[in-house]
Structure 1
Amino acid sequence: MEIERARTDRLGLLLDQFDKARETAQVRLTGLSDEEYLWEPVPGCWSVRRRGEAVTPRAFGPGEWVLDLGAPDIPASEYAEVARQAADGMTVAKIAEDWSVSIERVEQILAHTGEPEPDETPVTTIAWRLGHLHYQFAGEWEWTFGERRQDPKQLVDFTPSAALALEQFWAVIDRWRDSVAVVTEEQLDTVGFSQYPYGSAPDDPYVSVLWGSNLEFIHHMAEIALLRDLWQARFTTPG
């Protein structure tokens, strides 16, 4: 009997990493209730809300329910990435366009010295984190394997139902994964193979874009897992 060997090619490694992360995430999300999905552990959370109840200036979505989004900025955790973009020859104007901020803001960041102050980022609900991943992977598929014309922020009809959100989310994830699985070595090295409009995908080889997609999936799913742990602790921790 021939033993199946693990793939060690670039695409194989990225797919294997993603598949293991997806398997773990699906187990961790089993039994997610609507109440837990929308739970706001602290005041001022970003979440999925009815259009007229959104608390942020750029909340978006095509239907009744929208995903909170604040004013555009570059967080301190991304200052090093901005510096790399400039070092690689990207103009200040292009960097500003890439991050949807002003040229003055980019110049301020490039002139910054020393350690940046910690970001004051909002806490986001499980609904927000799933919604964020949902529209990103839907958009990445559209702008890599689809018609490359629809705004990613209008592709997902957000919902307050955890079960429906997960059903739709996994369908999008599986479609994206199936398409990635047949990418060729030449396409992996092609700059602009993905034209996803939010971020640097059009300027990067696709293998780098895939690496970033894995990272995005893994870190948001880890955050969701922690929120589930905290939700459970609400009922066991003495008040």
Structure 2
Amino acid sequence: MADLTEHSPATRDILATFERARTRLFGRLEGLTDAEYHWEPVSGCISIRPGDDGVYRVADLFPQSGPDEPDPVTTIAWRIWHIGSLCLRGYVIHLFDDAPEFPDRHEWPGTAKEGIQALADDWEQFISRVAAMDDERLLAPIGRGPGGWAEETYLKLALHALVEVSHHGGEIGLLRDLYLREDA
């Protein structure tokens, strides 16, 4: 982990918390197989799947259920895509001035190894932008972005990203635990 003493207090604390979340999430992803990555524990799972052209794409951006139905089950591949592409990469694209060119956000690697690397790359893109801020900028309105984000702070964005990482990361861990015990 980089030396955080050069950062102002709020930025330092957010970066330290992200590092703890990264360590836990990527620790749970160690040894992930392609079979686990694509495992569908129930019928009707939402995942990433190859199209006719062989390119893997997310099947459903925002799976919705009816008012009396449980949320759909998603695969580890979908959750890794959700954290990396939809959240972290999406935040960089829409909420930072210096966003690089990214591939189509609906496309995602079809193997566990490549999916984890894509998540790591998206993580680094997001964290490097947060790390470049001082507390004054972190606490000021973003000033751009869809859905009311222009009036929110980068601190709120970072906290929202942590919620997404903890929510989906915990479910990734549970899916791995269930997969390993499927035939037990």
TMscore range, shorter length: 0.7 to 0.9
- 2:128 — aligned with what? 178
Residue 166 (1) aligns with residue 157 (2): no
- 2:92 — aligned with what? 141
- What do the CA deviations read for 1:153-195 (whole angstroms, capped 9, x no partner)? 9246312111111112102212221221121222122223452
Tell me which amino acid in the other structure corresponds to 2:39: W
Residue 234 (1) aligns with residue 182 (2): yes
C-alpha displacement of 1:146: 4.3
Distance 2:174 2:37 in 1: 13
State the TM-score, normalizing by the size of structure 2.
Answer: 0.82
Deviates more, 1:136-145 or 1:18-27: 136-145
Give SS of 2:95's match. Answer: coil
Distance 1:187 1:130 in 2: 29
Tell me which amino acid in the other structure corresponds to 2:29: L
Tell me which amino acid in the other structure corresponds to 1:220: H
- 2:32 — aligned with what? 32
Distance 1:31 1:15 in 2: 26
RMSD over aligned Cα, in angstroms? 3.1
Tell me which amino acid in the other structure corresponds to 1:222: G
Distance 1:158 1:210 in 2: 23
How many equivalent pairs are there? 179
C-alpha displacement of 1:147: 4.6
1:14/1:214 contact within 8 Å kept = no
State the TM-score, normalizing by the size of structure 1.
Answer: 0.65
Selected match of 2:159 from 193, 211, 233 = 211
Residue 220 (1) aligns with residue 168 (2): yes
Greater radius of gyration (CA):
1
Matching of residues 15-94 of structure 1 within 5 Å:
15-51=15-51, 64-69=55-60
C-alpha displacement of 1:145: 3.1
